[in-house]
Copies of this chain bind each other. A is one copy, B any other.
Amino acid sequence: MDQVAEAAGVSRATVSRVINGAPSVDAKIREMVQRAIADTGYVPNVAARSLVTRRSNSVALVISEPDRPDNHSFLNRIFTDPYFGRITAGATSALRPHDIHLVVIPTDSTDHHQVVRYLRQGHVDGVLLISSHEQDTLPRQVHDLGIPAVVSARPTSPIAVSYVDVDQRLGARLAAEHLLNRGCRTLATISGPLDIPSGLDRLDGFRAFLSTRGFPSVPTIEGDFTRAGGEAMARRLLAQHPNIDGLFVANDLMAEGALRALQDLGRRVPDDIAVVGFDDSSAALDCRPLLTTVRQPVEEMAAEMAEVLMAHIATPGRLPRSVTFQPSLVIRNSA
Protein backbone atom coordinates (compact mmCIF):
# COMPACT_ATOMS: atom_id res chain seq x y z
CA MET A 1 0.00 0.00 0.00
CA ASP A 2 2.91 2.26 0.74
CA GLN A 3 4.23 1.44 -2.70
CA VAL A 4 0.98 2.53 -4.28
CA ALA A 5 0.94 5.70 -2.24
CA GLU A 6 4.44 6.54 -3.30
CA ALA A 7 3.81 5.69 -6.95
CA ALA A 8 0.78 7.96 -6.95
CA GLY A 9 2.50 10.63 -4.91
CA VAL A 10 -0.12 10.64 -2.18
CA SER A 11 -0.49 9.34 1.35
CA ARG A 12 -1.68 5.91 2.42
CA ALA A 13 -4.84 7.50 3.70
CA THR A 14 -5.76 8.71 0.24
CA VAL A 15 -5.10 5.33 -1.31
CA SER A 16 -7.40 3.85 1.29
CA ARG A 17 -10.03 6.42 0.45
CA VAL A 18 -9.86 5.58 -3.24
CA ILE A 19 -10.12 1.88 -2.61
CA ASN A 20 -13.12 2.31 -0.37
CA GLY A 21 -14.79 4.74 -2.72
CA ALA A 22 -14.83 7.70 -0.36
CA PRO A 23 -16.53 10.61 -2.14
CA SER A 24 -14.15 13.27 -0.90
CA VAL A 25 -11.33 12.57 -3.30
CA ASP A 26 -10.41 14.78 -6.20
CA ALA A 27 -11.14 13.11 -9.53
CA LYS A 28 -7.64 13.58 -10.86
CA ILE A 29 -6.01 12.16 -7.77
CA ARG A 30 -8.42 9.29 -7.77
CA GLU A 31 -7.40 8.43 -11.28
CA MET A 32 -3.71 8.61 -10.47
CA VAL A 33 -4.17 6.30 -7.54
CA GLN A 34 -6.15 3.85 -9.59
CA ARG A 35 -3.46 3.75 -12.19
CA ALA A 36 -0.85 3.21 -9.51
CA ILE A 37 -2.92 0.33 -8.13
CA ALA A 38 -3.14 -1.24 -11.55
CA ASP A 39 0.56 -0.75 -12.19
CA THR A 40 1.72 -2.24 -8.95
CA GLY A 41 -0.84 -5.04 -9.00
CA TYR A 42 -1.74 -4.14 -5.47
CA VAL A 43 -4.34 -6.22 -3.67
CA PRO A 44 -5.55 -5.15 -0.22
CA ASN A 45 -4.86 -7.54 2.62
CA VAL A 46 -8.21 -8.72 3.85
CA ALA A 47 -6.94 -9.71 7.27
CA ALA A 48 -5.61 -6.26 8.01
CA ARG A 49 -8.79 -4.71 6.76
CA SER A 50 -11.08 -6.85 8.82
CA LEU A 51 -8.90 -6.36 11.85
CA VAL A 52 -9.79 -2.71 11.88
CA THR A 53 -13.26 -2.69 10.33
CA ARG A 54 -14.36 -5.73 12.31
CA ARG A 55 -16.04 -6.95 9.18
CA SER A 56 -15.16 -10.01 7.20
CA ASN A 57 -17.45 -9.26 4.28
CA SER A 58 -18.58 -12.81 4.22
CA VAL A 59 -21.55 -14.62 5.65
CA ALA A 60 -22.03 -18.28 6.40
CA LEU A 61 -24.70 -20.45 4.85
CA VAL A 62 -25.10 -23.13 7.47
CA ILE A 63 -27.08 -26.10 6.24
CA SER A 64 -28.06 -28.12 9.25
CA GLU A 65 -29.40 -31.57 8.49
CA PRO A 66 -30.54 -34.04 11.09
CA ASP A 67 -28.62 -37.30 11.05
CA ARG A 68 -31.03 -39.96 10.01
CA PRO A 69 -30.39 -43.65 10.33
CA ASP A 70 -29.77 -44.27 6.66
CA ASN A 71 -26.68 -45.20 4.78
CA HIS A 72 -26.32 -41.89 3.00
CA SER A 73 -24.22 -39.24 4.64
CA PHE A 74 -25.79 -35.88 5.25
CA LEU A 75 -23.34 -34.36 2.83
CA ASN A 76 -24.64 -36.64 0.19
CA ARG A 77 -28.19 -35.63 0.92
CA ILE A 78 -27.32 -31.97 0.83
CA PHE A 79 -25.52 -32.24 -2.45
CA THR A 80 -28.25 -34.32 -3.99
CA ASP A 81 -31.33 -32.33 -3.09
CA PRO A 82 -31.78 -29.55 -5.64
CA TYR A 83 -33.28 -27.40 -2.90
CA PHE A 84 -29.89 -26.45 -1.53
CA GLY A 85 -28.55 -25.48 -4.92
CA ARG A 86 -31.43 -23.07 -5.30
CA ILE A 87 -30.78 -21.64 -1.85
CA THR A 88 -27.15 -21.09 -2.69
CA ALA A 89 -27.98 -19.50 -6.01
CA GLY A 90 -30.51 -17.14 -4.47
CA ALA A 91 -28.29 -16.06 -1.63
CA THR A 92 -25.30 -15.59 -3.91
CA SER A 93 -27.25 -13.37 -6.27
CA ALA A 94 -28.29 -11.07 -3.45
CA LEU A 95 -24.87 -10.92 -1.83
CA ARG A 96 -22.76 -10.45 -4.91
CA PRO A 97 -23.73 -6.82 -5.57
CA HIS A 98 -22.55 -6.01 -2.07
CA ASP A 99 -19.34 -7.90 -2.61
CA ILE A 100 -20.07 -10.25 0.24
CA HIS A 101 -18.87 -13.82 0.04
CA LEU A 102 -20.79 -16.90 0.98
CA VAL A 103 -19.17 -19.64 3.01
CA VAL A 104 -21.18 -22.83 2.71
CA ILE A 105 -21.06 -24.94 5.85
CA PRO A 106 -22.94 -28.23 5.81
CA THR A 107 -23.40 -29.77 9.22
CA ASP A 108 -25.20 -32.43 11.11
CA SER A 109 -25.69 -32.54 14.82
CA THR A 110 -22.33 -34.21 15.42
CA ASP A 111 -20.32 -31.14 14.58
CA HIS A 112 -22.44 -28.29 15.82
CA HIS A 113 -19.59 -27.52 18.14
CA GLN A 114 -17.22 -26.94 15.23
CA VAL A 115 -19.70 -24.66 13.55
CA VAL A 116 -20.30 -22.62 16.65
CA ARG A 117 -16.60 -22.19 17.17
CA TYR A 118 -16.20 -21.08 13.57
CA LEU A 119 -18.91 -18.49 13.99
CA ARG A 120 -17.54 -17.24 17.31
CA GLN A 121 -14.14 -16.69 15.85
CA GLY A 122 -15.54 -13.95 13.73
CA HIS A 123 -14.91 -15.52 10.35
CA VAL A 124 -18.24 -14.22 9.17
CA ASP A 125 -20.44 -11.22 9.80
CA GLY A 126 -23.66 -13.17 9.94
CA VAL A 127 -25.38 -16.48 9.36
CA LEU A 128 -28.00 -17.76 6.98
CA LEU A 129 -29.25 -20.82 8.78
CA ILE A 130 -31.06 -23.55 6.91
CA SER A 131 -32.53 -25.68 9.60
CA SER A 132 -35.78 -27.52 9.45
CA HIS A 133 -35.40 -30.21 12.01
CA GLU A 134 -37.54 -29.57 15.04
CA GLN A 135 -35.05 -30.84 17.60
CA ASP A 136 -32.18 -28.97 16.02
CA THR A 137 -30.43 -26.99 18.72
CA LEU A 138 -28.36 -24.95 16.32
CA PRO A 139 -30.80 -22.05 15.88
CA ARG A 140 -30.82 -21.50 19.61
CA GLN A 141 -27.04 -21.75 19.86
CA VAL A 142 -26.55 -19.30 17.04
CA HIS A 143 -29.06 -16.98 18.60
CA ASP A 144 -27.23 -17.12 21.91
CA LEU A 145 -23.99 -16.21 20.18
CA GLY A 146 -25.52 -12.85 19.44
CA ILE A 147 -24.30 -12.91 15.86
CA PRO A 148 -26.70 -11.60 13.19
CA ALA A 149 -28.70 -14.48 11.79
CA VAL A 150 -31.66 -15.29 9.59
CA VAL A 151 -33.37 -18.66 9.64
CA SER A 152 -34.98 -20.37 6.67
CA ALA A 153 -38.23 -21.32 8.30
CA ARG A 154 -40.41 -20.55 11.22
CA PRO A 155 -38.39 -21.65 14.25
CA THR A 156 -40.01 -24.31 16.35
CA SER A 157 -39.06 -22.82 19.66
CA PRO A 158 -39.90 -19.19 20.32
CA ILE A 159 -36.59 -17.53 19.51
CA ALA A 160 -36.42 -13.85 18.68
CA VAL A 161 -34.90 -14.29 15.27
CA SER A 162 -35.70 -13.16 11.75
CA TYR A 163 -36.90 -15.80 9.35
CA VAL A 164 -38.18 -16.21 5.83
CA ASP A 165 -40.75 -18.79 4.94
CA VAL A 166 -43.35 -19.75 2.42
CA ASP A 167 -46.99 -20.16 3.35
CA GLN A 168 -46.84 -23.93 3.63
CA ARG A 169 -50.47 -24.43 4.49
CA LEU A 170 -51.61 -22.35 1.57
CA GLY A 171 -49.40 -24.40 -0.73
CA ALA A 172 -50.96 -27.62 0.47
CA ARG A 173 -54.36 -26.10 -0.02
CA LEU A 174 -53.56 -25.19 -3.61
CA ALA A 175 -52.63 -28.80 -4.24
CA ALA A 176 -55.80 -30.08 -2.62
CA GLU A 177 -57.97 -27.66 -4.52
CA HIS A 178 -56.43 -28.62 -7.81
CA LEU A 179 -56.92 -32.32 -7.20
CA LEU A 180 -60.57 -31.73 -6.31
CA ASN A 181 -61.11 -29.53 -9.33
CA ARG A 182 -59.79 -32.31 -11.59
CA GLY A 183 -62.48 -34.52 -10.18
CA CYS A 184 -60.39 -36.65 -7.83
CA ARG A 185 -62.48 -37.96 -5.00
CA THR A 186 -60.21 -40.42 -3.21
CA LEU A 187 -57.30 -38.36 -2.02
CA ALA A 188 -54.21 -39.34 -0.08
CA THR A 189 -50.89 -37.82 0.81
CA ILE A 190 -47.29 -38.76 1.38
CA SER A 191 -46.21 -36.26 3.97
CA GLY A 192 -42.76 -35.04 4.87
CA PRO A 193 -41.12 -36.00 8.15
CA LEU A 194 -43.47 -34.90 10.88
CA ASP A 195 -40.70 -33.60 13.08
CA ILE A 196 -40.07 -30.90 10.50
CA PRO A 197 -42.38 -27.88 10.51
CA SER A 198 -42.69 -27.82 6.75
CA GLY A 199 -43.65 -31.48 6.77
CA LEU A 200 -46.21 -30.88 9.45
CA ASP A 201 -47.62 -27.69 7.98
CA ARG A 202 -48.12 -29.17 4.55
CA LEU A 203 -49.94 -32.14 5.96
CA ASP A 204 -52.00 -29.94 8.24
CA GLY A 205 -52.92 -27.53 5.49
CA PHE A 206 -53.90 -30.37 3.19
CA ARG A 207 -56.12 -32.06 5.74
CA ALA A 208 -57.60 -28.87 7.09
CA PHE A 209 -58.73 -27.71 3.68
CA LEU A 210 -60.11 -31.09 2.68
CA SER A 211 -62.09 -31.39 5.85
CA THR A 212 -63.85 -28.09 5.00
CA ARG A 213 -64.77 -29.70 1.70
CA GLY A 214 -66.27 -32.78 3.19
CA PHE A 215 -63.25 -35.08 3.40
CA PRO A 216 -62.80 -35.53 7.11
CA SER A 217 -60.12 -38.21 6.87
CA VAL A 218 -57.37 -38.69 4.35
CA PRO A 219 -55.01 -41.68 4.08
CA THR A 220 -51.59 -40.43 5.07
CA ILE A 221 -48.15 -41.94 5.16
CA GLU A 222 -45.05 -40.27 6.47
CA GLY A 223 -42.11 -39.93 4.09
CA ASP A 224 -38.56 -38.68 4.44
CA PHE A 225 -38.20 -36.20 1.57
CA THR A 226 -36.00 -38.57 -0.45
CA ARG A 227 -36.64 -40.16 -3.83
CA ALA A 228 -36.25 -43.69 -2.53
CA GLY A 229 -38.56 -42.92 0.38
CA GLY A 230 -41.22 -41.58 -1.95
CA GLU A 231 -41.11 -44.73 -4.00
CA ALA A 232 -41.40 -47.02 -1.02
CA MET A 233 -44.18 -45.01 0.61
CA ALA A 234 -46.20 -44.86 -2.59
CA ARG A 235 -46.02 -48.62 -2.88
CA ARG A 236 -47.14 -49.07 0.67
CA LEU A 237 -49.90 -46.49 0.37
CA LEU A 238 -51.36 -48.04 -2.75
CA ALA A 239 -51.20 -51.49 -1.26
CA GLN A 240 -53.36 -50.27 1.59
CA HIS A 241 -55.62 -48.02 -0.47
CA PRO A 242 -55.73 -49.33 -4.04
CA ASN A 243 -58.39 -46.95 -5.30
CA ILE A 244 -56.68 -43.64 -4.64
CA ASP A 245 -57.12 -41.27 -7.57
CA GLY A 246 -55.39 -38.17 -6.26
CA LEU A 247 -52.07 -38.01 -4.44
CA PHE A 248 -50.34 -35.06 -2.83
CA VAL A 249 -46.65 -35.66 -2.19
CA ALA A 250 -44.95 -33.22 0.13
CA ASN A 251 -41.91 -32.63 -2.04
CA ASP A 252 -40.82 -33.18 -5.61
CA LEU A 253 -38.09 -35.66 -4.86
CA MET A 254 -40.54 -38.02 -3.18
CA ALA A 255 -43.03 -37.36 -5.96
CA GLU A 256 -40.45 -38.51 -8.47
CA GLY A 257 -40.05 -41.74 -6.57
CA ALA A 258 -43.80 -42.10 -6.24
CA LEU A 259 -44.28 -41.69 -9.98
CA ARG A 260 -41.78 -44.46 -10.54
CA ALA A 261 -43.68 -46.73 -8.18
CA LEU A 262 -46.96 -45.89 -9.86
CA GLN A 263 -45.49 -46.74 -13.22
CA ASP A 264 -44.28 -50.07 -11.87
CA LEU A 265 -47.74 -50.75 -10.51
CA GLY A 266 -49.24 -50.06 -13.90
CA ARG A 267 -51.17 -46.97 -12.89
CA ARG A 268 -51.49 -44.32 -15.53
CA VAL A 269 -50.70 -40.80 -14.38
CA PRO A 270 -52.72 -38.63 -14.37
CA ASP A 271 -55.62 -40.71 -15.76
CA ASP A 272 -55.76 -43.37 -13.05
CA ILE A 273 -54.17 -41.26 -10.38
CA ALA A 274 -53.21 -37.61 -10.33
CA VAL A 275 -50.05 -36.53 -8.51
CA VAL A 276 -49.10 -33.11 -7.18
CA GLY A 277 -45.69 -32.39 -5.71
CA PHE A 278 -44.24 -29.53 -3.76
CA ASP A 279 -41.22 -27.30 -4.44
CA ASP A 280 -41.09 -26.98 -8.20
CA SER A 281 -37.50 -28.10 -8.13
CA SER A 282 -35.57 -29.41 -11.08
CA ALA A 283 -36.67 -32.88 -10.05
CA ALA A 284 -40.16 -31.93 -11.24
CA LEU A 285 -38.78 -31.76 -14.76
CA ASP A 286 -36.98 -35.06 -14.38
CA CYS A 287 -40.33 -36.76 -13.82
CA ARG A 288 -42.37 -38.60 -16.42
CA PRO A 289 -44.97 -37.28 -16.81
CA LEU A 290 -43.77 -33.81 -15.95
CA LEU A 291 -44.79 -33.06 -12.41
CA THR A 292 -47.57 -30.69 -11.45
CA THR A 293 -46.33 -29.09 -8.29
CA VAL A 294 -46.61 -26.25 -5.80
CA ARG A 295 -43.98 -23.69 -6.55
CA GLN A 296 -41.91 -22.37 -3.70
CA PRO A 297 -39.87 -19.35 -4.79
CA VAL A 298 -36.75 -20.72 -3.15
CA GLU A 299 -34.25 -18.49 -4.93
CA GLU A 300 -36.24 -15.38 -4.06
CA MET A 301 -36.61 -16.55 -0.48
CA ALA A 302 -32.88 -17.12 -0.13
CA ALA A 303 -32.21 -13.72 -1.64
CA GLU A 304 -34.61 -12.18 0.83
CA MET A 305 -32.86 -13.97 3.67
CA ALA A 306 -29.61 -12.45 2.51
CA GLU A 307 -31.16 -8.99 2.31
CA VAL A 308 -32.59 -9.24 5.78
CA LEU A 309 -29.27 -10.50 7.08
CA MET A 310 -27.40 -7.60 5.54
CA ALA A 311 -29.86 -5.22 7.16
CA HIS A 312 -29.17 -6.83 10.52
CA ILE A 313 -25.45 -6.58 9.99
CA ALA A 314 -25.71 -2.93 9.03
CA THR A 315 -27.99 -2.09 11.96
CA PRO A 316 -27.02 -4.19 14.97
CA GLY A 317 -29.99 -3.39 17.17
CA ARG A 318 -32.56 -4.07 14.50
CA LEU A 319 -35.61 -5.99 15.62
CA PRO A 320 -36.22 -9.42 14.11
CA ARG A 321 -38.83 -9.68 11.42
CA SER A 322 -40.28 -12.43 9.32
CA VAL A 323 -41.14 -12.49 5.65
CA THR A 324 -43.63 -14.93 4.18
CA PHE A 325 -43.82 -15.73 0.50
CA GLN A 326 -46.84 -17.00 -1.39
CA PRO A 327 -46.66 -20.35 -3.15
CA SER A 328 -48.30 -20.93 -6.52
CA LEU A 329 -49.45 -23.94 -8.46
CA VAL A 330 -47.49 -25.00 -11.54
CA ILE A 331 -49.67 -27.21 -13.67
CA ARG A 332 -47.84 -29.71 -15.84
CA ASN A 333 -48.85 -33.23 -16.82
CA SER A 334 -49.12 -35.30 -13.68
CA ALA A 335 -52.33 -33.65 -12.44
Query: From residue A87, how far is it (CB to closest CB) to chain B in Å?
Result: 9
Q: Is A20 an interface residue (CB 8 A)?
A: no
Q: Is A79 an interface residue (CB 8 A)?
A: yes
Q: Is A45 an interface residue (CB 8 A)?
A: yes
Q: Is A183 an interface residue (CB 8 A)?
A: no
Q: Which of A25-33, A116-124, A321-329 contacts B (4 or more CB under 8 A)?
A: A116-124
Q: Is A43 an interface residue (CB 8 A)?
A: yes
Contacts known (A73-B85, A75-B89, A80-B80); A121 close to B51, Cβ less than 8 A: no
The dominant DSSP class at the A interface is helix
Count residues of A near B (Cβ-Cβ below 8 Å). Answer: 45
Q: Which of A9-17, A101-109, A216-224 contacts B (4 or more CB under 8 A)?
A: A101-109
Q: Which residues of B contact A286 (CB under 8 A)?
A: 227-228
Binary contact track A40-76/B, C-beta < 8 Å → 1, others 0: 0001111110110010101000000000000011011
Q: Which residues of B contact A96 (CB under 8 A)?
A: 114
Q: A78 contacts which of B58, B85, B227, B288 (Cβ < 8 Å)? A: B85
Contacts known (A123-B101, A228-B286); A51 close to B47, Cβ less than 8 A: yes
Q: Which residues of B contact A79 (CB under 8 A)?
A: 78-82, 84-86, 88
Q: Which residues of B contact A106 (CB under 8 A)?
A: 88
The residue in chain B whose Cβ has the minimal distance to the Cβ of A56 is: B47
Residue among A75, A79, A82, A89 with most chain B CB within 10 A: A79
The residue in chain B whose Cβ has the minimal distance to the Cβ of A87 is: B79
Q: Is A282 an interface residue (CB 8 A)?
A: yes
Contacts known (A48-B51, A50-B47, A101-B123); A85 close to B89, Cβ less than 8 A: no
State in angstroms the CA–CA spacing of A46 and B54 once bound together.
Answer: 10
The residue in chain B whose Cβ has the minimal distance to the Cβ of A54 is: B47
State in angstroms the CA–CA spacing of A227 and B227 once bound together.
Answer: 14
State in angstroms the CA–CA spacing of A152 and B255 once bound together.
Answer: 35
Please give the residue numbers on chain A whose beta carbons come within 8 Å of chain B beta carbons, in ascending order.
Answer: 43-48, 50-51, 54, 56, 58, 72-73, 75-82, 84-86, 88-89, 92, 96, 101, 103-104, 106, 114, 118, 120-123, 227-228, 260, 282, 285-286, 288
